[in-house]
Structure 1
Amino acid sequence: MTIQRRGFLAAIGGGATAALAGCTALSSDDDEEAGPEIEGETLTLTTTTSTYDTGLLDELNAPFQDRYGVTVDAVAQGTGAALETARNGDSDVVMVHARSLEDEFMENGYGVNRRDLMFNDFVLVGSPDDPAGIDGSDEATTAVSAIAESEAAFVSRGDNSGTHTKELAIWDAAGLGPEDFGEWYTEAGQGMGEVLVQADQQGAYTLADRGTYLSMRDELGLEILLEGPIEGGPALLMNPYGIVAVNPAVHDHVNYDLAMAYIGYVTSPEGQAIIESYTSNGEQLFFPEALSENPNFRQYVPEEWDWNESANE
């Protein structure tokens, strides 16, 4: 299945000029009234290594910090670790990219007021000599099957991150699992940047989010051998990001007010425009998703949420 770039972006609703749905940033009229109450406070944001390594957070957080006189303490972890930190009450808000793990976090009562934030996609990268011959594959499952069959070196994040979760889902869709992995398969237990460097050193394949790969491309000898849906590749490689506030009813010490102000800011026209305009080496790394003329209200609840059952409870 391929999706043309223009049609794909239109279908996702990534334009930053559409109407705002859900949370809104504090308006300029509110600044004088709200500012003194939060000035000097710190918001702890646990997030993925991809948003941190690409430099996006520096660009995104600076206007928010300047406007309200606060500090955003961004802690870069894999998605699983970021959610675990929040589950323990050591974070105010989480920005991650593994919907199944986000859903579990919300279903267990730890997260509230989730919003779709942005997306990019995953790509399979490897050395130009491509020992498994995956260049030209139409499906991610075909590509990973070829890697396993040829026993070509593959470096996995191996850290319960969003990227690792997606990688395991691809292997599973191909009918493969840990019992099929041999010495050719390495679990690095590292962030995306470190894994790309390791794969480059070993001449190995790895699954990477497009943003981190593009931000490091000039430092690597790796090439994209299977594109994601942004460039016409399989939809299985889609990579959506969400943002969730930690539930103050579970952890009453979290800075819920500041978390909601931050969610409002990053999903506002201003925040979404910053995401849309952020580039590395002339390449757009992330595509805004919070604004749409036809809002997706399922973003607020787990994907498998049974609306009828909830209404009858």
Structure 2
Amino acid sequence: MRISRKSSIIALCLVACLLVFGSFATAKAPVLRMATTTSTDNTGLLDYLAPILLKDTGIEIQWVSVGTGKALEYGRNGDVDVVLTHSPSQEDRFMEEGAGVNRRKVMYNDFVLIGPANDPAGVKGKPVVQAFAAIAAKKQKLVSRADKSGTHTAELKLLERAGVKDFDKADWYVQTGQGMLKTINIADEQNGYALSDRGTFIKYEAGLEGRKGLVIICEGDKELLNRYSVMAVSPMKHPNVKYDLALKYIDWITSSKVQKDIADFKVEGKQLFFPEAETRYGH
């Protein structure tokens, strides 16, 4: 069949368009590196949000989940582009050092004191500071992450407020050096108490599969607020970081659309995190 010159030009244009669009379709997505806490990972929140991020922005996210102290250390070293953590006092220092920029609140839940259903320390329903004092006085096992995480930092403040001293040398104070879910499981095995973020505890409950386990002993205390924030790693200190991607991620995770996605994330029908992006820091 004879092809006209005009048809040939049109065909060439179509091929060129296919090549261009094909290159976009196969282009590797830009990768954002994030350090975050074990609670955001253990609960499944990050796995839930990652494909939404890729669809909305074209950004692929890779993360390491550790305690907040370690996550901020990764940020200080420029090993990641953005951090998502839950320890306001440690985050304050991070910002004051100039290690982070554009700090934004993202979400919150709360900490809960969990323990055996028979509550050997007799503290169920008491204010959490009194509960910690009684656990120490009765030498009941308190299982700690002991990893400079946000949860560990909150626990240390509660022990200080309870007037408990030299607990780190006591037999009843069990230091795991592990993440939240592993620490809960160790507390379960040892019939001890532990401080947990509510989200990870709900994940633990979902895995009990009908058997008895630890229960919530203290909750709802104002001392137990657990707030999560996001910060970009400073490009002034680390020119190698992908600051543009970090800012896009921060804008994305604090957007009204993604805040709703976070609110919609549930385990066993229970909401794990509550949006808070409308509240800003003064940094």
| Structure 2 counterpart of 1:84 | 73
1:1-313 paired onto structure 2 within 5 Å: 40-137=29-126, 139-179=127-167, 182-220=170-208, 221-227=213-219, 233-291=220-278, 296-297=279-280, 299-301=281-283
Measured against aligned partners, the alpha-carbon deviations of 1:108-159 in whole angstroms (never above 9, x if no partner) come to 010000001000000000111111011121x111000110011001100100
Q: What SS does the aligned partner of 1:104 have?
A: helix
User: How far is the alpha carbon of 1:70 from its aligned partner?
Assistant: 2.7
Q: Once the two structures are aligned, what percentage of the paired residues are identical?
A: 46
CA distance in 1, matches of 2:207, 2:185: 9
User: Are the counterparts in 2 of residues 39 and 68 from structure 1 also a CA contact under 8 Å?
Assistant: no
**Distance of aligned partners of 1:224 and 1:181 in 2 relative to their CA distance in 1, 3 Å threshold:** farther
CA distance in 1, matches of 2:148, 2:92: 15
Which one has a bigger Cα radius of gyration?
2
User: Are the counterparts in 1 of residues 112 and 217 from structure 2 also a CA contact under 8 Å?
Assistant: yes
CA distance in 2, matches of 1:263, 1:203: 40
CA distance in 2, matches of 1:180, 1:84: 23
Measured against aligned partners, the alpha-carbon deviations of 1:71-105 in whole angstroms (never above 9, x if no partner) come to 10011010000000110000100000000000100
User: How far is the alpha carbon of 1:180 from its aligned partner?
Assistant: 7.1
CA distance in 2, matches of 1:219, 1:206: 18
- In angstroms, what is the RMSD of aligned CA positions? 1.8
CA distance in 1, matches of 2:167, 2:109: 30
Q: Which amino acid aligns with 1:87?
A: R
| TM-score normalized by the length of structure 1 | 0.79
| Structure 2 counterpart of 1:7 | none
CA distance in 2, matches of 1:177, 1:276: 39
| TM-score normalized by the length of structure 2 | 0.87
**Distance of aligned partners of 1:248 and 1:173 in 2 relative to their CA distance in 1, 3 Å threshold:** same
User: How far is the alpha carbon of 1:252 from its aligned partner?
Assistant: 0.2
Q: Which amino acid aligns with 1:117?
A: V
User: How far is the alpha carbon of 1:48 from its aligned partner?
Assistant: 0.3
CA distance in 2, matches of 1:135, 1:71: 44
CA distance in 1, matches of 2:80, 2:165: 33
CA distance in 2, matches of 1:173, 1:114: 28
CA distance in 1, matches of 2:60, 2:122: 48
Q: What SS does the aligned partner of 2:114 have?
A: strand
User: Are the counterparts in 2 of residues 96 and 243 from structure 1 also a CA contact under 8 Å?
Assistant: yes
Q: Which amino acid aligns with 2:255?
A: S
Measured against aligned partners, the alpha-carbon deviations of 1:4-47 in whole angstroms (never above 9, x if no partner) come to xxxxxxxxxxxxxxxxxxxxxxxxxxxxxxx99x9621100100
User: How far is the alpha carbon of 1:219 from its aligned partner?
Assistant: 2.9
Question: Which structure carries more relative contact order (alpha carbon 8 Å, separation 6+)?
Answer: 1
User: How far is the alpha carbon of 1:61 from its aligned partner?
Assistant: 2.0
Q: What SS does the aligned partner of 2:113 have?
A: strand
